[in-house]
Amino acid sequence: MSAPDDGAAKRRLPIGIQTFREVRGEGYYYVDKTAHVQRMTDGGKHYFLSRPRRFGKSLLLDTIKELFEGSEELFRGLAIHDRWDWGRPHPVLRLDFGGGSFDEPGLAAKEALAQLDAIERRAGVEGRYDTAPARFGHLIESLRERSGRRVVVLVDEYDKPILDALEAPEVARANRSFLRGLYSAIKSCDAHIEFTLLTGVSKFAKVSIFSGLNNLMDITLDPAYSTICGYTEQDLDEVFAPELPGLDRSEVRRWYNGYSWRGAEKVYNPFDILLLFRQREFKAHWFETGSPKFLIDALLRRGVPTPDLEGMVGTEALLSAFDVDEMSVEALLFQTGYLTIVDEEDRGGRVRYRLGYPNREVRQSLNERMLWALLPYAARRRADDAPLRELLAANDFEGLEAFFRSLFAGVPYQWHVNNDIGSYEGYYASVVYSCFAAHGFDLIPEDSSSAGRADMVVRFDGGVYVFEFKSVGKGASGRALAQIKEKGYADKYLRLGRPVYLVGVEFSREDRNIAAFEVARAA
């Protein structure tokens, strides 16, 4: 891939930089989010925002900190500069649970007390209480008294003490109880507070963690704030123009764009874009910085076939149903950034959201990890090295059948029992789907037509491949291929003038392998 045009004026890439003063003062690119901050300060007082990891939440909070502290020189040229009263700075109290691990009892309380102690020392406030909620409230009141102005309260990674302990539910519940008490101090000190923003990855149910803080305005799915974190197409064109030459914009979009929180514009993950500009390579920059093990385990435990991930539907309440004791798969996938909103439908005042992968990076990488979980080591290596592109490019269906037969032959009986995703058909279909998805194919699971839905459609190299999966007893039935023909699943593709192939795959429950792999070209 060619290098960018060196004639354009470049700036430093703010990879991992979360300090607004450093970004603005040391020559880094900066995407102006201050118009969103202005909207918040004009329209309310207490806010909550959920976004996936590495989306710029910490930089947003630091921007707000500098704004309320009156650091005017950092905001010159930004949207908010001429609309802000720089003569009225406010004290800022910021807690950050982003560092450390909280998977053992008592660590969350120790961390909160340590942070409150440090703030008290810097402010010259005497800590009079032993518990974190009492010290938190006393500190807010003391800062108000000393400055004569109300306090700004910012909490970064408010939920990390719970998320860190999800595999130890008793610790997670204890951390949840502690945080509920800590955050309730914000409500009791409302008269002393000018502005509040809590951010995190997840949105826990109000009754579980915000029962004492029921005056928060949740802007997670507010279209007016859909681009408060992340980069838009306009941001790439205007802010990062010097970095774009030499990059295929359609590939940039396909790999990294697509996140939506109900706004008209989709956004890019900032971490992906910045790493792309530095390394000039299309790969899973964001995905590789986190471990989705908990998510993979949850999908396996609940028997969710991987093709079903692209067609999940949920209400706003369901997407917010995230808690230690009750955690919907839809909420887990959406809040952690592995699925995003791709469509919505208003059904009599009750909005339903359809979820899907935001981009190629997430679809390809998540399905690769699912394959690792669905297959034993030897079969996993075979799947990683699968010659699927070569086989489809040559329309070598015998070779394609032979590959999947050899793949499933390497799966021992015990593996089927331990990795049952819904049914035999669900397990085999998940392996086939995830194998194609992990190799970057353009897939449509559960592809709808007027007569029903094909299990999977693959679009590749100008051709269309319509798959139907069936689970059968001993011997082949021919039902899978017959259903594609009878239901006319491929009819809508015939008008495109492309070659269309019908692929019926039947899995034997007794032999635990492919019973039939039938192919016909649509006329």
Name the residue ranges covered by the structural domains of the chain: 31-222, 367-521
Alpha helices in 50-168 (DSSP H): 57-68, 107-123, 132-147, 160-163
Residues, the chain: 523
Q: How far apart are CA 200 and CA 43, in angstroms?
A: 21
The C-alpha angle 226, 229, 230, rounded to 5 degrees, equals: 100
Q: How far apart are CA 419 and CA 431, in angstroms?
A: 11
Q: Quick one: pLDDT at residue 431?
A: 94
CB atoms within 10 A of CB 406: 12
Cβ atoms 490, 483 nearer than 8 A:
no
Mean pLDDT by 10 residues, the chain (523 residues): 53 97 97 98 95 97 98 98 97 95 96 97 92 97 97 97 94 95 94 97 75 81 96 97 97 98 94 98 96 90 90 86 82 94 89 95 97 92 94 97 94 65 78 96 90 92 96 86 95 92 94 93 89
Q: Quick one: pLDDT at residue 509?
A: 86
Q: Quick one: pLDDT at residue 5?
A: 44
Quote the tokens at residue 86: 């720089």
CB atoms within 10 A of CB 273: 26
- pTM, two decimals, is 0.93
Closest Cα to residue 242, out of 454, 418, 10? 10
E strands in 254-398: 313-315, 340-347, 350-356
DSSP tag of 121: H
Phi, psi (deg, nearest 5) at residue 446: 50, 55
Q: Look up residue 423 and give its amino acid.
A: S
Report long-range pairs for 180-183 (Cβ below 8 Å, ≥24 apart).
180/208, 180/209, 180/210, 180/211, 180/212, 181/131, 181/132, 181/133, 181/212, 182/112, 182/132, 182/133, 182/136, 183/155, 183/158, 183/209, 183/210, 183/212, 183/213
Q: Quick one: pLDDT at residue 158?
A: 95
Cβ atoms 470, 504 nearer than 8 A:
yes
329's enclosing H/E stretch is: helix 329-335
Q: Quick one: pLDDT at residue 423?
A: 64
Report the phi/psi class of residue 206: left, alpha or beta, with left for phi > 0 and alpha for psi in -120 to 50: alpha
CB atoms within 10 A of CB 266: 21
CATH number for 31-222: choose from 3.20.20.70, 3.40.50.2000, 3.30.70.1150, 3.40.50.300. Answer: 3.40.50.300
Residues 370, 374, 380, 385, CA torsion sign: negative
Residues 289, 290, 293, 296, CA torsion sign: negative
Q: Say whether 367-521 and 31-222 share the same fold.
A: no
Placement of tokens 């034993």 in the chain: 376
The architecture that CATH gives domain 367-521 is 3-Layer(aba) Sandwich (3.40)
